[in-house]
């Protein structure tokens, strides 16, 4: 009979995975990786970025000689050393010297190689303390945020610029709806698409032109950055309309329930002369608005889109929006992906105070010593204004996601799920923390991904299917105190 095929030898990661499973995923176990002359494929190298690698062993036998006869690593080996330096690994040189001047020249080369690593950017410096640092998600509806929290988010250079662009687009559409085929509509459009100024110059400014009226509500105004972004957008559109003699009158309501933030908002009204801004100290869901809004602006999103109760809050505030009114954001979608994250999983397991609850909590974290094992998949989606309001408001969602072939021929161990979101603010303006998305917001740090730990890590054998069932449940809320 023909000889049976020889079994494939175990790869280093498979041996490591078997060892830690026998040791019940003990946090006392770490990895020392030894580089060989022939490095494995990229997928094999990538999986080690999610493991607790503490030591990188570099034998002298893999060094080449440069033109001057000194030791040097191949470009691919250099890349491996640099990529693992991000995890603060120790480098261990082994083997007898194969170049003149002993081990010293090898150490000098490795020091030189480390010195070639580019310095951290400003964004990377800001994110450094948050790498793999687990944080409980904010609950701004239940808790009043501290001033320091507001201050951190207000430094975001991307988010509020995106909101400004979105409000500009919404105001332009409002102008075109109120005065279609008019000089005002042409002038407003120039502000967004960069059309030729001659399209505006063809019109003579008219005296006594009918003004464009807009009511804008910022719900959850915080300490004012969204209000400021909205006012800047209004000024931009107003400047265009002024060229054809059409006034733009924007009335802004800033609604905020946090009394400490309200104090700041009222000071801003005086200091920055926000003459068209009314500060409202109230929960957006119970406020008795004197008029309805054309545009409602909010930033109630969490790292998973809906996890800070944005749908419930905006549904409650929708009664203040005019028929045909606009919500910014228009929609947001959450995404999931399986993660290899033993460091994060052990951090959660070590939480002795919370016990089992710790494993059933989602955490905000800047993912670092983590490998995403498969592409993200869409989970939940919400749109505003809610088309079913007020007759049928149902924010329950149910989704089943499946991934197959994690880790290729070796399989993979899943320690949890990564949660992300992408939101369309208005038109073609997005904010996104979704990896690989064309709409990804580079440099935006207001949101880090969510980490959903598994109670026990799951090994997915080669070709095995991993299924995740997601259920967004509604719980009745107690009545408000008016």
Active site residues: 299, 308
Task: With CA atoms as reference, report the closest residue to 412 among 43, 26, 9.
Answer: 43
Angle at 71 between CA 70 and CA 77, to 5 degrees: 145
For residue 323, count other CB atoms closer than 10 A to its CB: 6
User: Do residues 372 and 339 make contact, with C-beta atoms less than 8 angstroms apart?
Assistant: yes
3-state per-residue secondary structure call for 131-144: ECCCECCCCCCCCC
> DSSP per residue over 183-215, as a string?
HHHHHHHHHHH---THHHHTSPP-TTPPPEEEE
Burial of 387 (0-12, 13-18, 19+ CB in 10 A): exposed
Task: With CA atoms as reference, report the closest residue to 80 among 37, 129, 132.
Answer: 37
Q: Token match 């944005």: residue?
A: 310
For residue 34, count other CB atoms closer than 10 A to its CB: 13
Tokens of 481: 């105190």
For residue 138, count other CB atoms closer than 10 A to its CB: 16
Question: CA–CA separation, 283 vs 300, rounded Å?
Answer: 13
CA dihedral sign, ordered 55, 61, 67, 70: positive
Task: With CA atoms as reference, report the closest residue to 244 among 193, 210, 214.
Answer: 210
Burial of 243 (0-12, 13-18, 19+ CB in 10 A): middle
User: Do residues 187 and 248 make contact, with C-beta atoms less than 8 angstroms apart?
Assistant: no
Task: Map residue 166 onto helix, strand or coil.
Answer: helix
Burial of 352 (0-12, 13-18, 19+ CB in 10 A): exposed
User: Do residues 73 and 113 make contact, with C-beta atoms less than 8 angstroms apart?
Assistant: yes
Task: With CA atoms as reference, report the closest residue to 246 among 203, 193, 205, 214.
Answer: 205
Q: Token match 């309200």: residue?
A: 262
């Amino acid at each position: 009979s023909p000889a049976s095929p020889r079994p494939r030898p175990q790869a280093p990661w498979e041996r490591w995975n078997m060892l830690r499973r026998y040791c019940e995923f003990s946090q006392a176990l770490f990895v020392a990786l030894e580089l060989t002359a022939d490095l494995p494929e990229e997928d094999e190298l990538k999986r080690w970025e999610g493991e607790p690698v503490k030591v990188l062993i570099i034998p002298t036998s893999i060094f080449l000689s440069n033109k001057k006869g000194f030791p040097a690593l191949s470009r691919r080996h250099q890349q491996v050393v640099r990529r693992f330096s991000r995890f603060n690994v120790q480098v261990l040189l082994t083997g007898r010297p194969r170049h003149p001047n002993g081990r010293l020249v090898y150490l000098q080369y490795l020091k030189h190689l480390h010195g070639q690593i580019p310095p951290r950017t400003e964004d990377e410096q800001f994110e450094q303390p948050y790498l793999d640092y687990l944080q409980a998600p904010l609950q701004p509806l239940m808790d009043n945020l501290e001033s320091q929290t507001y201050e951190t988010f207000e430094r975001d250079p991307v988010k509020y610029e995106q909101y400004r662009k979105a409000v500009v687009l919404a105001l332009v559409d409002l102008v075109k709806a109120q005065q279609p085929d008019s000089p005002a509509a042409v002038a407003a459009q120039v502000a967004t698409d960069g059309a030729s100024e001659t399209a505006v110059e063809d019109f003579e400014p008219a005296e006594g032109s009918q003004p464009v009226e807009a009511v804008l509500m910022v719900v959850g105004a915080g300490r004012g950055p969204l209000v400021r972004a909205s006012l800047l957008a209004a000024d931009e559109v107003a400047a265009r309309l002024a060229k054809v003699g059409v006034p733009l009158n924007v009335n802004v309501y800033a609604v905020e329930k946090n009394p400490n933030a309200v104090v700041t908002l009222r000071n801003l009204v005086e200091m920055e002369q926000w003459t068209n801004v009314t500060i409202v100290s109230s929960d957006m869901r119970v406020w008795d608005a004197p008029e309805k809004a054309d545009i409602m602006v909010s930033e109630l999103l969490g790292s998973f889109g809906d996890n800070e109760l944005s749908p419930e809050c905006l549904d409650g505030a929708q009664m203040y929006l005019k028929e045909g009114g606009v919500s910014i954001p228009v929609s947001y979608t959450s995404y999931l992906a399986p993660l290899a994250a033993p460091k994060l999983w052990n951090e959660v397991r070590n939480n002795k105070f919370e016990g089992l609850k710790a494993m059933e909590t989602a955490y905000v974290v800047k993912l670092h010593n983590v490998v995403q094992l498969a592409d993200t998949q869409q989970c939940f989606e919400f749109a505003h204004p809610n088309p079913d309001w007020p007759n049928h408001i149902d924010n329950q969602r149910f989704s089943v996601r499946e991934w197959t072939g994690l880790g290729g021929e070796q399989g993979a161990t899943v320690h949890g799920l990564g949660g992300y979101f992408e939101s369309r603010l208005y038109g073609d303006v997005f904010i996104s923390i979704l990896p690989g998305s064309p709409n990804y917001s580079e440099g935006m740090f207001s949101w880090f991904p969510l980490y959903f730990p598994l109670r026990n890590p799951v090994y997915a054998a080669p070709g095995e299917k991993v299924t995740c069932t997601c259920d967004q449940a509604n719980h009745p809320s107690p009545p408000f105190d008016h």
